[in-house]
Amino acid sequence: MENKWLSEAFRGEVPDFHGRVGWQCPSNIALVKYWGKKGKQIPQNPSISFTLSECCTETFVEFEKADRFGFNFFFEGKEKPAFGAKIEKFLMDNQAFFPFINQLNLKVESRNSFPHSSGIASSASSMSAFVMCLMEIESLLTGPSTGSGTLTKASYFSRLASGSAARSVFPKMALWGATEGYQGSSDEYAVSLADDIHPVFKTYHDSILIVSGETKSVSSRAGHALMEGNPYAPARYAQANENIKNLLTALKSGDLDTFINITESEALQLHALMMCSNPSFILMKPNTLNLINEIRTFRNETKIPLCFTLDAGPNVHLLYPEQEADKVEYYIKTVLADYCDRERWIADRVGDGPKKLLR
């Protein structure tokens, strides 16, 4: 695949042109977690995620012909070179795929739909939104590419920019990482699961309970690296592969009990791995545990099939189907919000993937 996209790259003279393109891309929340990588952003195990709807990045790229590569990055209206450094590095490291950038001046403007200091990671949404813009600029040079391969290519490049971003370009649900359980799956890009899931999962809500809006004390890059010396890593990768197989079956049949069991176990394993790395670290806060206990008690008492997952941080993602939304939202407002930072939570749900912006 790499060769296909390398050979497709536009290597000609960029015409005297300029313009502006824009894309909105969502964040995603993993159910089976990607934690540990090798080589060039190759996951140690496959992962599965819900694509979100409300937590998005909007990116516009203004481009014009130039003698050499030029790059400016604006975040929420202000020039922020440090925020753009990851994109610039991605472009420099992967010039072979985008040689035309050396004849372009790029002005990137990005903003997130989710509030500042909400502890929501933006690299998946921001990197995939930038990649969609870059591919659109390329298509202005080469002629539009068509067909399903476009999103696969977007996923491949998003992965090079930020691993989990590979999953953000597909609607509903995505699988990233090669597994025998799914034909066509790959370590190099994600694939859509939208046609292989029970309709109930397309209605899922993700209410993000903000326990703390502080930025993470340990970056995910450092966390992945610590898996290299983690004595439990081989067992973890075996377990993740098993969980992928069983979750794929449960997603197809609509088996909510298995879904809940795997999703919660994966969230706790992710944090357990952090706690047994060397050096170890803890990203949960006391209210993360209080919420987990509340949610489990509520599920046992009411039989409502809600469950939690965690990202690499203290916030709790509460997952439940649309048919339970009224009851669960009442429960959030009356009970769970008390454990949140200033009673903050974000009502998100499964979404439809990237959107082209017209302005």
Comparing CB distances to ligand PMV, the nearer of 313 and 354 is 313
Comparing CB distances to ligand PMV, the nearer of 36 and 213 is 36
Q: How far is CA 114 from CA 54, 117, 185, 208, in A?
A: 7, 9, 31, 11
Q: Which residues contact 345 (CB under 8 A, 6 or more apart)?
A: 207, 208, 209, 210, 332, 336, 337
Q: Check if the beta carbon of residue 314 is closer than 8 Å to that of residue 287.
A: yes
Distance of closest approach, residue 15 Cβ to ligand PMV, in angstroms: 36
Distance of closest approach, residue 8 Cβ to ligand PMV, in angstroms: 25
HEC per residue, 161-174: HCHHHHHCCCCCEE
| Cβ-based neighbour number of residue 86 at 10 Å | 16
Comparing CB distances to ligand PMV, the nearer of 153 and 224 is 224
Q: Check if the beta carbon of residue 10 is closer than 8 Å to that of residue 341.
A: no
Distance of closest approach, residue 270 Cβ to ligand PMV, in angstroms: 6
Comparing CB distances to ligand PMV, the nearer of 123 and 155 is 123
Distance of closest approach, residue 230 Cβ to ligand PMV, in angstroms: 14
Distance of closest approach, residue 127 Cβ to ligand PMV, in angstroms: 9
Burial 274-287 (b: 16+ CB within 10 A, else e): beebeeeeebbbeb
Q: Check if the beta carbon of residue 177 is closer than 8 Å to that of residue 46.
A: yes
Binding positions for ligand PMV, rule: CB under 6 A: 30, 33-35, 47, 123, 162-164, 220, 224, 270, 311-312
Comparing CB distances to ligand PMV, the nearer of 163 and 351 is 163
Residue 239: helix, strand or coil by DSSP?
A: helix
Comparing CB distances to ligand PMV, the nearer of 166 and 328 is 166
Two tokens, residue 285: 């806060």
Distance of closest approach, residue 124 Cβ to ligand PMV, in angstroms: 6
